[in-house]
Amino acid sequence: MTKRIDQEQEVFPSHSAIPLIGVDTGGTFTDLVMVRGDELRTWKLPSTPADPSRAVLEGVRRLVGDAPAFVFHGSTVATNALLEGKGACVALVVTEGFRDLLLIGRQNRPDLYALHPRRTEPLVPGERVVEARERVLPNGEVAVPLLAEQIAKIVTAVSKTGASSVAVCLLHSYAMPEHESALTEALEREGLEVSASSRILVEFREFERASTTVVNASVSPIMGQYLERLQSALPGSTLRIMQSNGGAIRPRTAAKEAVRTILSGPAGGMVGAFAAARRAGFDRIITFDMGGTSTDVGLCAGEIPFTAEAVVAGWPVKVPMIDIHTVGAGGGSIARLDEGGALRVGPQSAGADPGPACYGRGEEATVTDANLCLGRLLPESFLGGRMPLFPERAQAAVERLARGARLPVEKMAEGIVEVAEETMAAALRVVSIARGHDPRDFTLLPFGGAGGLHACSLAETLGMRRILIPVGPGLLSAFGLVVADTVRDYSLSVLIPGETGEKALKELFYPLEERARQEMKDEGALEDDIELVFSLDLRYRGQSFEVNVPFSKDFRNAFHRRHEALYGYCDEGREIEIVTVRLRSRVPGHSPAFGGEPRRGELTRLRDSQVRIDAELVHCPIYLRETLPLQAQFEGPALIVEESATHLVRPGWRAKMTRQGCVVLER
């Protein structure tokens, strides 16, 4: 890692008086929120896909000039490098006899009924896999030692592959990491970047551990280069990078463990949404983050949900992350007719370059163009009037598609919106109905620049009766970055009987706790600020998967109850196995108020307009969000316009302004 990142300021955000800036880089827009004491400023500008740092730097300078700041960044760099296959050239070192570990995988068939299934190509081809003559048993015993001459042969073999980054994943290294440590030291002396599984994922299941480690080796060099450029362009400022688990870390850590930032941006959105919901008095929400490229949804039943079973670009990434489901439906999703003449929307997106047709450069019809044709977007109010829209270009793009389908333009525009909404509704069902939750028991919280245009339709589809529109919904992900905690997760697979005593379990946690406290201090935290949360992954002996419960004296009963809640049964007479011990270290972040109490006065409308809803042109009053007075109430149809978003209140919905500045819609 570069000296620039190594020499960043040793200051923790909560101990600093300088401005705090959250920066969320999306596929279409880059959003910024600045907090300095009671001062709150925001900015939104088009992203720069060729070099995301350009938009980040422009936005930061717009808010604070050249003054120092704490910059919390949600980045898509690691995600894009993996999805686009533009990661570093990686070599993989495995135990002798396991060279086909990535190729064999779990032999699962994602497309069960495909007559000609396509295998995902390994991230590391066979010619860059190097075998090490060594063997460690599951209990940590060394069956075949790793000798010095063997290490030298491995270093030579890796050098011949031409790889610049190396993943080391030896059998059962979670139980005895010394072999991986020796190889790592030798490879690093040759100038190679090394990702060791005993550092990235200290857990059993060789395929998932190898996959996660290889993904890290692939994206970490790219992330390191990006963060070096960004830090160098922000002299005097300090960076913090959002992880997929909703916690921020230093650039030096993010550059070495970039796999932990794969869902960096969406994680900030979930943190911001839950913070806004809690402040408004709601803690059972379904989040709906619709941006320009994709839509991210999640369900919070009193707390932010986490998982460690994600698959990205076809590869398991087994690190703790916020449980978010993503679909390729956003404002920039491109509409097209398939070979059979059916209308398809997404997952391809116009992104920021060229963008939807109405932005002035794109040619293809998108969801944003369709909404503009239907009168649901106001050209003069987009981004507070700072970014012009071109209705005639949107009309022409949708018309070209309509001619191919032999439909009127307005029918095609409605069809584009309906297809996109069905894709998003399916995603909402995945995180609710498919997991045993009734969406009618939750409040829908839409955010992102496009979420408010589709919230009412989606709520009606799922039978939901309440929608919470937070303050600054188009910038909520950036706000989530500012309020995020600093978090690190640690784990160790132990595979021991469930009867193991509390004292013995505490001894297993002790090395994780020591490491957690030291690394949090390295992040700049004070000892008294560090909070530790201990948990266990448990299963009935013979099962293939685990259930996580908090570590306490009553953890066995907690496991039975949790298992019953998840699967409908428990067996209190069956033997339990403790699979993995987990530790989360946390330092609470800031809790600034995003927006204040609304003004008092009379409800006034900006003007009236004609909007197409349910195949009819309806008379629709338009309200400015910032002029809505406290306790204001009105019924749909209506449009609520603000700088970062536009909201469609459908007929049958009533809007009410709350003291926290939120808008609550009820059927």
DSSP code per residue over 344-401? EEEEEE-TTTT--GGGTS--S-BHHHHHHHTT-S-GGGGGGGTS---HHHHHHHHHHH
Task: Give the position of tokens 């995603």.
Answer: 427
So where are the chain's domains?
3-82+224-261, 87-108+117-218, 485-587, 607-666
Q: Beta 576-587 vs 485-497: how paired, if at all?
A: antiparallel
pTM of the model: 0.88
pLDDT score recorded for residue 2: 39
User: Tokens in use for 156?
Assistant: 């030579």
Over residues 223-237, mean pLDDT: 92
**In percent, how much of the chain has pLDDT > 90?**
72
Mean per-residue pLDDT over the chain, rounded: 91
- Omega before 637 within 30 of 0, i.e. cis: yes
> What is the tens place of the pLDDT at every residue in 119-139?
778 889 999 999 999 999 999
pLDDT at 3 over 50: no
Q: What is the CATH number of domain 3-82+224-261?
A: 3.30.420.40
> What is the tens place of the pLDDT at every residue in 358-391?
999 999 999 999 999 999 999 988 888 888 999 9
* Range with lowest mean pLDDT among 250-264, 266-280, 301-315, 619-633: 301-315
Cβ-in-10-Å burial (0-12, 13-18, 19+) of 112 comes to exposed
Distance of CA 375 to the CA centre of its chain: 32
**87-108+117-218 classified as CATH 3.40.50:** yes
> What is the tens place of the pLDDT at every residue in 21-64?
999 998 888 999 998 877 888 999 989 988 899 999 999 999 99
71-98 in b/e form (b: 16+ CB < 10 A) is bbbbbbbbbbbbeeeebbebbbbbbeeb
CB contact at 8 A, 558 and 455: no
Over residues 638-658, mean pLDDT: 95
- Please report the beta strands in 141-263, taking only residues with DSSP state E, as ranges in sequence order: 142-144, 165-169, 193-196, 238-242, 247-249
3-class secondary structure per residue, 631-647: CCEEECCEEEEECCEEE
- Omega before 347 within 30 of 0, i.e. cis: yes
pLDDT at 6 over 90: no
Over residues 165-189, mean pLDDT: 97
**What is the rounded CA–CA span in Å between residue 473 and residue 195?**
38
User: Tokens in use for 509?
Assistant: 């946690």
Q: Beta 485-497 vs 247-249: how paired, if at all?
A: parallel
Over residues 534-553, mean pLDDT: 94
Q: Which residue has the higher pLDDT, 416 or 113?
A: 416
pLDDT score recorded for residue 8: 44
Over residues 268-282, mean pLDDT: 93
Helix 451-462 and helix 409-431, axial crossing angle in degrees, nearest 10: 70
Q: What are phi and psi of 619, to 5 degrees?
A: -75, 125
Helix 178-189 and helix 148-161, axial crossing angle in degrees, nearest 10: 50
* Range with lowest mean pLDDT among 9-13, 113-117, 148-152, 376-380: 9-13
pLDDT score recorded for residue 594: 67
